[in-house]
Structures are given as C-alpha cells and as structure tokens.
Structure 1
C-alpha cells in the first residue's frame, strides 16, 4: 500500500514520506585525564528505582556491578570506511575471534540516493575494516535487521526508497558466510517488516518482534528457523505496535522497550508519530517456541529512547541498552515537531533473573540511530549512527563494563 499522497514526494518541501519522517578523531588523553574521567564517571552514576506504569510490576534497583561504566579512553575499533547510519550490524565468530559486520544504511548526506548496499567487516586483531561483497539487492536499504549465528549473518528486510519517495518494506532474507564471503538467499519474510527487534534462541530460531510494514506498525512476532529455512508465527506482541524500538533475547526471555507509534493525524490529514514509553518481557515456552508469555515490566531508567542499540549478555542474564534518540525524528535528526532530536549517552540493562533494571552510567559521547549494540572482544560498540549534532558518523563508539564481558567466540566458530 502507498502511504498518504501528501507524504510521498521527497522533492516537495511539504513532503511527509516515511523516509523523510522516520529515518530515514579521538585524541589520546594523558594518564591523569584518563584517571579523572574514570573517577568522574563513577561519581556521576546515579541509581534510580524504575517507575512502573499502572498495572506493571514495580522493581527496585539493586546495587550495580562492583565498577560502573567506564568509557574507553581511546578507540578500540577503527572508523568505518564511510559514514553510515541506520545500518544493520551483527557479531560473527571466525577462528575463535569476533568479527563485526555492517550492512547497508544511509550515508552522510541523508538523501534517498545516499542509501547504500555496501557491506564491511572488522576482525579483531586485524585493526581495519575490509569491504565485503555488496548485499545482492537492486538498491540499498535502511532499517534492516541482522543477527549473527556462528560464522554466518542473517540479514532481514529493511525498506527501499524510490526516486519519488515511495517506500516498500522488503521481504528478502539473506545469509552471509564470513569464511566463503558469499551471499545466499533464504526464505522471504511472510510479513515484510523493517525497524524491528530481533533475538536468537538456541543458535537456531530468530525472532522478529513488531516493526513497520509498508504503511503502518504491526504487532506480529515472526520466527525464522535457520536450520529448516522456514517461517512460523508466535504469540503477538501485546504492547503498542512500534518501529525503532530496542530489545534482545537472553536465555528464553525477550525484552522489548519503547519505539515510535502512529498517534493519529494532524489538521492536514498527515500522520503523527510519537516516541512512546513501554517495557515488555516475553518468556518463551520451553516446549513450544511459538508460545510467548508476555507481561508488562517496570519502565527502564531515564526517558524513552528511539533506535537505541541493544544486545544480549547470556553470562550475566542481561539485555544491555545504549544510546538512542530522545524524540521521534525525521531522516535528518530533526523531530516531527521541528525540534532537533537529542542523542542519549545513557547505558542501562535489564536483569531477567531478578526482574530489575540497572542504570550503568553514560558513554563518553552520545549516539543515536542504531540497529543494534555489538559485543566485541572485550567491550561493546555502536557502529556508525548519528552524533549529538545529528551528523552521520564513521566512528565506532565503545565502552566497557568490568563485570559484564561479551560472550567469547568458540574456537572454530
């Protein structure tokens, strides 16, 4: 379906297409500066009890790990070859070492023609990014979803933008093998979605929760069986259907927060979008991966976030969140209300065992417009995105949590 005619044409000043409406060098410090930065970071961290919505279970904050968030004093991952935002990212494993991959996304000028098909990989120990074969699609996409399973990446959907601003949520699914450098097509999504939340169960089942389909948000939860190359549906998401939400899957528990909802129309009949606050937990049935017991949980610390990065930490039993925008914004980082969007530097986590949130502190610099948070060799990374001035970045923002280490890559995996 084609969205409202008044929102279709990128070239018109009054355009409100979904692409327009949605979107679409470190200096080495002295040792003293590094120490002071760490001390100030620890001193500034404040623990706040999470506040529940009516009907949600209230949870109190417990003490954090023995050390709070520490900003890396120098970059661990080299900058990307080109600035990109809203790119699909994932972590793979090759010969026992983690590999970061980045697929497609929006370039620095933030126009429809700047949407790219490019793919890159960064292998720890090599110190640089290398170009991979382009994603085998006719034109680039944004808001795609990627997950890593061993040495392969699965890339789901995203949306394309035509020259007249017409957009399509694309159904294709691709598998990329880091050893052979080859793309193969897999079974397409039954309901194409973009800006969705993903999680992997048992290194086999990929869950896609809610997201945008062509002309609106959907509550569907779709499961892709990577062994059988087939799709099935799971218990729908009971929260507000949204795009640009964040979340992850740890153990057998999905955690989903926030996102942008459609909240009616203005006087001119144009759709209105708003960043909503919500937090949901979905426990997957041990006997049937299609059955999910959803329940509302307490809201996370701080304001709601749009397109934050998130990742699962199995060893800790956490879903970890970082960055994101503090309002729903246009492709250029300007909010729908005309106010420039601010980027968040906050880092927080949900502990599935205790049903509690941790407020872990702040990164050295804010960052927004992400599809995921990536666990590296010893820290966590936001790849590209937009900075506090809404500029598309080449940099990789990293931080460490002393008691929350990334899962190691298995040898040979």
Structure 2
C-alpha cells in the first residue's frame, strides 16, 4: 500500500467507440471536438452526485450537490442541474432541500426516480460531518421527497442499484472513520437492512459497479492507524467481487480478485453494464486527496485518462481506451441510450470543470 501521512480534515472482441475516447489505440479523427458532449453544466462542479432519468423533455442527465470552482468550505453546494440530451442544453433546477452544501453524496435511478444519499458538510474550521438524508427526486415533477434516513450516515461510499428496486451502499466514511457496512435500501418499502459486511479494509473514495447479480469494488483509501494523533491514510489497491444471492439480496459472497493494472485510483467514475456483464471504470486521481484536490501527503493529485473494465464472466480486466481529457473527482458514471457520461469533476491542476464527456462501447 502507498502510505499517506495526514488526516482527513477533522470531524479483442470488445472495443470503445470514442466519442471522447481513443479506441483500441486509434485516435478519433477530431479528439478535441469529440471529447465533449456538446453541452456543459451551468457552472463548474466536482464531487457531485450524478444520474440519468427520463425527464419531461426526454432522456436527461442530472447533477446534485458538489464543490464549486473556489474549492473552499464556502464552495460546497446543494445546486442541481438537468441536462436534456436531445437538445444539448443544461439548466439549473430546484436545489436539494438541505441547509448546507454537500460533498461526496451519491445518486442512482430506480424505477424512474432518482435517489440521493448523504454526503458531508464542511464547517469554517474544517470540521466535516457525514449527513443522513435520503431524498427521492421525481424528474417529471421536479420535486424532492424526504425518505427514511440512512441508519449509519456515510459519504464517499459506493452506491449500486439492483433489480430496479434495491440500492446498496458499500463501505464509505462515517464522521470519524471508514465503515465496513453494506447498507441495503428497499425503495419499494422505504426500508433499510444490512447486507453481508464488506470484507476488505473499510475505505472511502472507492469505485464500483453492479451487473446482473455481481458487483466489483475497487481501490479507495483506508485508515492505517494514528501518527502523532493524526490519522495515517493508505491507498488501498485491492479489488473485491461480491456475488448476490438471487433469493436474498442481503446475502453477498465476497472474494478478492486481481487488482487492475496501473495502480490504485481515487474517485473514479464507475458503473455496471448488465448486457455485457462488465463493470466500467474511467478516470480518477493518481493520489488520494482532500476535497480541494491536494493529496493527503501534501502533493497535488493529477487526473488520469484510462477507461477499463472488469469482465464478470472471465474474471479478467480489459483495457477499453483512454479519455481524451483526463478527469477525476467523480461520484458515478451514468448511461443514457448507448452512451456513458462523465459530468463535471476536476481537470489538470485540480481545476473544477463544467465539461460533460461521453463515450460508447461497441461489441
């Protein structure tokens, strides 16, 4: 593991057709033009919860909460945006109904509604607090409904949809440390339960996806003890596969699998692809960092450009291409139609971006 000294502030059959990526070693004809989706978020936003759903004007990308360009405690945001794909237009919509901005929250779409979970607040003195709120956003009505709070508030967790009903929250940070919990939310009954515990070191900033009945959880940052009263952090270059019992969603059989090539990445964009049995990962930082993009070791983090996937059928990793624009600080990879989208994040020199990238994978 890569040791990081500091504390979190207190408290080849498959190819990528690149609309924004290089396919199988071949550059697209115009990588700069094809690297973007043709529209941007109304303002730069990073560490934002993202999802796709059917909006009033057709397939729409959504962004909730996040960090604005100033990257200070005052730049945490509860703003929300809707980006209509057909007309390539983004607009600000009703904000998430919370008093303070949220970082490291997560969102996922189930049965046409977007569920938004947690995040953390940052106080002027640097204290961070994990928040318990859960909201269901109705894209058609542009409205939020408050649901039952998370039993254990977490942020920087992995969030995974299952069977268009259940939502898994895997590990993550809770106020003063990481948790091994796998919390399971049933959208049908607004009810929480606990699934089989995550067996690896508890982490935050990890990434993962779920396809069919299997999930992959990769990387993240673990707490490796205290030095002079401060937490010692370590990048966790470990990957775990969890296979869900189809008859009982609370039962998960976990096993370690090979780490992906290239070393661990922090806050990658990730998602599962059911039709291909593939878990996709894109971008991410090369050095775990605090919310401003500066590493816990004091060194600035740099965005990466790799796109790769884990094939659940063969238990192997596949290189799928590279992003034309390196990007990091993501909370999800969303899909609409044939394309996957990366919304906002950080570019080189830890600059918060409004850019929307897209790519497509073809068999």
TM-score, length of structure 2 as denominator length: 0.91
Larger radius of gyration: 1
Whether the 8 Å CA contact 1:71–1:399 is kept in 2: the answer is no
* Structure 1 residue 239 corresponds to structure 2 residue 200: yes
Q: How many residues align?
A: 349
Find the aligned partners of 1:214 and 1:227 in 2 and give their Cα distance.
29
Find the aligned partners of 2:312 and 2:298 in 1 and give their Cα distance.
38
Report which of the two has the higher share of strand: 2
Find the aligned partners of 1:221 and 1:72 in 2 and give their Cα distance.
41
Task: Look up the match of 1:32.
Answer: none
Find the aligned partners of 1:395 and 1:101 in 2 and give their Cα distance.
13
Aligned partner of 2:141 among 175, 180, 189: 180
The runs of at least 4 consecutive aligned structure 1 residues that moved more than 4 Å come to none
Whether the 8 Å CA contact 1:301–1:359 is kept in 2: the answer is no
* Structure 1 residue 281 corresponds to structure 2 residue 273: no
* Structure 1 residue 75 corresponds to structure 2 residue 36: yes
Aligned partner of 2:115 among 122, 143, 154: 154
Aligned partner of 1:218 among 179, 195, 200: 179
Task: Look up the match of 1:23.
Answer: none
Match runs of 1:249-328 below 5 Å? 249-266=210-227, 268-328=228-288
* Structure 1 residue 373 corresponds to structure 2 residue 333: yes
3-state SS of paired residue (2:44): coil
Match runs of 1:130-145 below 5 Å? 130-145=91-106
3-state SS of paired residue (1:113): helix
- List runs of 5+ in structure 1 lacking aligned partners: 1-5, 8-15, 20-34, 46-66, 404-413
Distance 1:130 1:96, change over 3 A: closer
Distance 1:74 1:234, change over 3 A: closer
What's the offset of the Cα at 1:75? Answer: 2.3
What's the offset of the Cα at 1:332? Answer: 2.3
* Structure 1 residue 107 corresponds to structure 2 residue 68: yes
TM-score, length of structure 1 as denominator length: 0.80
- List runs of 5+ in structure 2 lacking aligned partners: 1-5, 12-17
Aligned partner of 1:17 among 9, 21, 32: 9
Distance 1:41 1:283, change over 3 A: closer
* Structure 1 residue 193 corresponds to structure 2 residue 185: no
Q: Deviations over 1:201-237 (max 9, x none)?
A: 1100000000000100000000000000000000000
What's the offset of the Cα at 1:294? Answer: 0.4
Q: Deviations over 1:73-102 (max 9, x none)?
A: 252241111111100001112479431100
